[in-house]
Amino acid sequence: MLIAQVVDQLVYEQGVQAVTIREVASRVGYSTTVVSHYFSSKLEMLVFTHQLARRKAEALIDDAIRDDRPLVETLEHLLPLTEERWRDWHTWFAFWGMTPAEPDVTREWEEGINNAHLLFERLIGSAQASGHFPSNIDGAFAATQLQIFVNGIASLVAQERSAWPADRQKAMLRTLLQSSFALN
């Protein structure tokens, strides 16, 4: 976990290019030998860090489904409204910008996309079962739309963070949900 936090911090401060085994080892206070024992490359550290950020979002959705939280509230928690959520998005965007020629990158992208879509489908199904989402809307199609809404808002925040404070992000999400699904 500590290594992932350091990798996340390096990516946030200086970009993916700043991540090296030597720099990570220096920041965590370990030798490069110790870090290399767990991660053989920069890519492995980046994949691991991306997986942890992704798993946090997946756990948020799983918890929302289990606790029968309102759909809109759950989606809002996925947006980069807080510093922690912004850092996760920053990590994802950095990882998404990596070369698809690396099999580990492609695998992680595919797993992330598939898991996210399945979770969004489950979220829709849960909202439909509790009467918080129209039952006549195809769950798979709605899941794709929700991913587009959340990812799209986050990408606008990434481009101009100061122009997209939390209230504006929430308002945009609610407008998109209202116009597409008649949700408040």
- CATH number, domain of 144, equals 1.10.357.10
**In this structure, is residue 114 part of a structural domain?**
yes
How do residues 46-55 score in pLDDT, each as one tens digit?
889 889 988 9
**In this structure, is residue 87 part of a structural domain?**
yes
Task: Count structural domains, the chain.
Answer: 1
Which pLDDT score is estimated for 145?
96
**For the chain, how are helix, strand and coil distributed in percent, rounded to 5?**
80, 0, 20
pTM for this predicted structure: 0.88
- Compute the average pLDDT of residues 132-142: 93
Give the number of other CB atoms < 10 A from CB of residue 15.
12
Q: Is 68 left (phi over 0), alpha (psi -120 to 50) or beta?
A: left
**In this structure, is residue 88 part of a structural domain?**
yes
Between the alpha carbon of residue 69 and those of residues 13, 21, 64, 79, the distances in Å are 34, 41, 5, 16
- Compute the average pLDDT of residues 58-81: 93
Segments forming the whole domain that contains residue 81: 49-181
Angle in degrees, 0-180, between the axes of helices 2-14 and 21-28, rounded to the nearest 10: 120
**In this structure, is residue 166 part of a structural domain?**
yes
